[in-house]
A and B are shown apart, each in its own frame.
Chain A
Amino acid sequence: MSAPHRDLPPLVDYVVVPLANLTVAFLISGLVVLAIGENPLEAVAIMLRGALGYAEGVGFTLYYTTGFVFTGLSVAVAFHAGLFNIGAEGQATLGGLGVALVCLAFDGAPWWLVAPFAMAAAALFGAAWAFVPAWLQARRGSHIVITTIMFNYLAATLMVWLLVEVLGQPGSMSPETKTFEPATRLPFLRDFLTPWGIDLGQSPVNPMVFIAALAAVFVWLLVWRTKFGFELRTVGQNPVAAVYAGVDPGAVVVAAMLISGGLAGLMAVNEVMGVQHRLLLEFVAGAGFVGIAVALMGRSHPFGVVLSAALFGILYQGGAELAFEKPAISRDMIVVIQALVILFAGALEHMFRPALGRIFARVETTGGGA
């Protein structure tokens, strides 16, 4: 990411290069589909129709998008401070614990009363899980990538223990809490929209989709319109310069990770209070890692994060439909596409820059001469 490269105009930098990377990732995904013996164009058509072609599909797409916006923003905020938060998965898991504890404590109370507390608990628990790696990075120099990986596994084992031994229901074999009362669950948007003639079918999209949009606005304001955001970006780009500017990089690192963990934790409200209505193992289901892809593709900008979260929402919902219609292309295809997006939009992000830069320079000179 620090590779020295010639400056390109913003249009090329923010639109053309990511699109080129994405195109290559999708082309290779198409080759994989071809290798399986299916028609890639047909697969794309099924995916788009499944994700966007009818109201229920759109509902599912929005539901997936909601979770990815939170984890994407979480990773993006950490990126701005120069940190790689690979622990959104674990932070979201802990966020789920917070949500479940609040919902079980106020079980039966109306959802609009419980929701603010559930969100606060989710953010708090997620932030708490990010605190130790953050503090260790800031004060002891322990590499945050390794510590957050370790904390993902610690969260997973903690969850198994809690759900099997502490929170699980007596007499039940499955490691999950009791189901919340209907009054305490977040309502589905489908219940509001049916009277208006919009049939969202069984899609689980809920009011958290609006909170996700607000979170994106919040992150934009925080990063580009506050003093803290300035400090955050300064530390991310040059911690030494930050010290000379009177900024304590350690404090900024800890604050950034707390915000990052809190955003990851909020993802759990969508899942636990909105969809599953109980705490169960592995409800995060990789959304924390999808957040990495989302943040990379969205260039850590909230607007980009929302766009790429929507793209991944389409991929997930479309992929589910695809697996249904073409059993040969199982849902694991999405994981492959995700991997290729991370590879080309992330690790190989500079691969096409020199070539695109040359093309652009030629266009510019001929354009200037005319």
Chain B
Amino acid sequence: MSDPAMIVDLLAPVVGSGIRLSVPLLFACLAGLWSERSGVVDIGLEGKMLAAAFAAGAGAAAFHSPWAGLVAGIVVSVALALVHGFAAINQRGNQIVSGVAINFLAAGLTVLLGQVWYGQGGRTPQLANSERFLGLDLGSLGLDPSSALGRIWSDVISGHNALTWCAFLAVPITWVVLWRTRFGLRLRAVGDNPHAVDTAGVSVAGLRYRAVIVCGILCGFAGAYLAVAQSAGFVRDMTAGKGFIALAALVFSKWKPLNALGACLLFGMLDAVAIRLQGTPLPGLGTVPVQVFQALPYALTVVLLAGFIGRSIPPKASGIPYTKDR
């Protein structure tokens, strides 16, 4: 194990797979960040992602283009986000309840419609390579593919698809928009102190709706990534709790975009390590059950929430419907 080339051989594929696994988490986590920074709690990330994955699979199959899939995913996800927005902003309903409803709606409708339309137990048709987002080959950069650097380049950095690049681009964009523009300042203010924003003559509902729509768009990307980039079509319950891991990552990141990147990469890596280590004994530890790695994101989040390793405090007004004083 002392040979650096061997370590690279061992780690590079795991890191590469960890990055691929963290992409849907990152999209969904940033989606939650936008929503919750504006004061709208969203536990419906899972449902929006699932519905978007189904729509993306169906759209890409119908129009033979991954881009059509992406657009379909975004449209469906934004529609669900608007339902949540209507319940949370206009109706001042309970946002948790609304999120739960959206998760169920997506879980039920995707399989129901999938069965009616395609008759394959809730799957969408298998996508051809031309209908998917495939890895973009960035060339070899003149590196020797068998050298350590060459392996890092080919396994970790090169070969990712367009949506992966979008996900990592979304982090700085989110940061710049939310922390370096007037719109972003107002949007964060509306999540902390909506009364102040209202007093300044800016529409609380308008800002929150815009945040909820961005949340829908990002969940659309997450779903499209699952169905059209990572896999070749939608299968039932495709998200398998990723929306909730993203929620955990959001808490873990203390509602900050750069931390979100770190948290999602960490959770993605844990997933990749769990897959890689299946049944492989670790030196000094023996065989670690896969479930330990699967449970770690949730356990870490609870420990963080408990305030034992730093404190994670949500935006002050998140989850509270805004009522204008009369």
Q: Enumerate chain B residues within 8 angstroms of A342, measured Cβ to Cβ.
A: 97, 100-101, 104
The 0/1 profile, CB within 8 Å of A marked 1, for residues 95-106 of chain B is 111101111110
A-side interface residues toward B, CB under 8 Å?
1-4, 32, 36-37, 84, 86, 132, 136, 140-143, 145-147, 149-151, 153-154, 157-158, 160-161, 165, 289, 292, 296, 328-330, 332-340, 342-343, 346-351
Could you tell me the distance in whole angstroms from the C-beta of B257 to the nearest C-beta in chain A? 19
A84 and B112 form a contact (CB under 8 A): no
A147 and B305 form a contact (CB under 8 A): yes
Q: Enumerate chain A residues within 8 angstroms of B247, measured Cβ to Cβ.
A: 146, 149
Given known contacts A332-B111, A336-B112, A342-B101, is B305 in contact with A143 (CB within 8 Å)? yes
User: CB < 8 Å: which of B100, B116, B122, B298 contacts A292?
Assistant: B100
A332 and B108 form a contact (CB under 8 A): yes
Query: Please, how many angstroms separate the alpha-carbon atoms of A347 and B80 in the complex?
Result: 14
User: CB < 8 Å: which of A2, A296, A333, A340 contacts B97?
Assistant: A296
Given known contacts A3-B323, A346-B94, is B306 in contact with A338 (CB within 8 Å)? no
Q: Enumerate chain B residues within 8 angstroms of A1, measured Cβ to Cβ.
A: 93-94
Query: Please, how many angstroms separate the alpha-carbon atoms of A132 and B104 in the complex?
Result: 27
Query: Please, how many angstroms separate the alpha-carbon atoms of A329 and B301 in the complex?
Result: 39
User: CB < 8 Å: which of B101, B109, B291, B321 contacts A157?
Assistant: B291
Given A150-B244, A154-B302, 7 extra CB contacts under 8 A? A132-B302, A150-B301, A289-B100, A332-B122, A334-B108, A340-B105, A347-B94
4 closest A-B pairs (Cβ-Cβ)?
A: A335-B108, A339-B104, A347-B98, A336-B108
Given known contacts A330-B112, A336-B112, is B305 in contact with A161 (CB within 8 Å)? no
Q: Enumerate chain A residues within 8 angstroms of B86, measured Cβ to Cβ.
A: 348
A330 and B115 form a contact (CB under 8 A): yes
User: CB < 8 Å: which of A145, A151, A330 contacts B96?
Assistant: A145
Query: Please, how many angstroms separate the alpha-carbon atoms of A330 and B121 in the complex?
Result: 10
A146 and B112 form a contact (CB under 8 A): no
Query: Please, how many angstroms separate the alpha-carbon atoms of A147 and B291 in the complex?
Result: 19
Q: Is B299 an interface residue (CB 8 A)?
A: yes
A153 and B97 form a contact (CB under 8 A): no
Could you tell me the distance in whole angstroms from the C-beta of A316 to the nearest C-beta in chain B? 13
Chain B, Cβ-Cβ closest to A145: B96
